[in-house]
């Protein structure tokens, strides 16, 4: 009986040891962490692909169009814009010069010589040519016909107060303005004013030229050299054209002042 019990205990111990050995030999496969692909060689190719895709998405990777950086864009043609801007500025200078010269008195009657006179009416200053029609009666006489007869006194006072040296007289519903002849001293003084005005506005034309050349210079790196030279030449030609226009205008005004 004792022999039988010892054999049974030995068999039970062998069974326990065999079961423990079998459990230790069983391997467990785990997926590698998202941050590392160590051990990925033990996975099937399909699972490895899905793991790579998931890892890339988690890091926010985006596909890039490599060809997009190879696109070469042509530099825009700035010529029309530069010339248009320069022309507008130079034209504005010539128009302003013409307006200034029209304010200067001459020995002959001219409707424009009263345009710059400001008339105060109902507490507001308004240009005379917006309140009345000015016309030439003869070489030395102007007629001023107010749209509103009640403004005659204000217009008459404004003409007297102007630096033109005109003494108007009422004549019914109009004002008669006699233009006195200019003295030699008056003519010399007015011609100096014309010369000064001409130089001031020619400087405005030259500033427009310089601004255009600066714009061309800034864009020169993206333009062919021949195009840069051509555009600079065209700007110079524009400048000469408007300078000549200003000079011709002033010569005509001096001639009108001197009566020659």
Question: Which residues, at least 6 apart from 5, have a Cβ–Cβ distance to it below 8 Å?
Answer: none
**Residue 259: per-residue pLDDT:** 72
* 11-15, 50-54, 147-151, 165-169, range with greatest mean pLDDT: 147-151
> pLDDT-based confidence at 184, cuts 50/70/90?
confident
Q: What is the mean pLDDT of residues 177-183?
A: 85
Q: What is the pLDDT of residues 70-84, one digit of tens each?
A: 444 455 677 788 899
Which residue segments constitute the domains of the chain, with CATH numbers given? Answer: 78-104+183-258 (1.10.132.20), 111-178 (3.30.1360.40)
Which one has a higher pLDDT value, 248 or 224? 248
Q: What is the pLDDT of residues 28-75, one digit of tens each?
A: 444 444 444 444 444 455 444 445 545 544 444 444 444 444 444 455
**What pTM was estimated for this model as a whole?**
0.55
**Is residue 217 packed enough to be buried (19+ CB in 10 Å), middle (13-18) or exposed (0-12)?**
exposed
Closest CA to 180 of 253, 107, 256, 254: 107
Q: How far is CA 45 from its chain centroid?
A: 61
What is d(CA 242, CA 100) in angstroms, rounded to the nearest whole number?
A: 16
Looking at the chain, the whole-number percentage of residues with pLDDT higher than 70 is 70
- How far, in Å, are 103, 202, 247 from residue 253 at the CA level? 11, 16, 10
**Residue 46: per-residue pLDDT:** 47
Cβ pair 86, 211 in contact under 8 A: yes
> pLDDT-based confidence at 105, cuts 50/70/90?
confident
């Amino acid at each position: 009986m004792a022999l039988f019990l010892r054999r049974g205990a030995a068999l039970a111990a062998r069974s326990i040891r065999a079961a423990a050995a079998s459990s230790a030999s069983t391997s467990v496969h785990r997926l590698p962490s998202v941050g590392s692909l160590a051990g990925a060689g033990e996975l099937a190719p399909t699972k490895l692909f899905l793991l790579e895709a998931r890892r890339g998405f988690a890091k926010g990777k985006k596909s890039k169009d490599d060809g997009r950086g190879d696109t070469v864009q042509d530099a825009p043609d700035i010529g029309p814009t530069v010339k248009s801007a320069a022309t507008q500025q130079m034209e504005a200078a010539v128009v302003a010069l013409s307006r200034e010269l029209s304010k200067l008195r001459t020995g002959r009657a001219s409707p424009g010589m009263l345009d710059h006179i400001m008339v105060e009416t109902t507490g507001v200053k308004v240009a005379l040519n917006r309140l009345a029609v000015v016309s030439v009666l003869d070489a030395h006489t102007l007629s001023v016909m107010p749209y509103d007869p009640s403004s005659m006194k204000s217009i008459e006072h404004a003409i007297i107060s102007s630096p033109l040296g005109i003494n108007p007289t009422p004549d019914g519903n109009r004002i008669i303005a006699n233009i006195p002849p200019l003295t030699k001293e008056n003519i010399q003084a007015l011609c100096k004013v014309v010369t000064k005005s001409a130089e001031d506005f020619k400087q405005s034309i030259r500033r427009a030229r310089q601004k255009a050349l600066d714009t061309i210079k800034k864009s020169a790196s993206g333009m062919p050299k021949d195009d840069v030279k051509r555009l600079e030449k065209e700007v110079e030609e524009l400048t000469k054209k408007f300078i000549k226009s200003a000079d011709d205008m002033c010569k005509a005004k001096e001639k009108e002042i001197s009566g020659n």
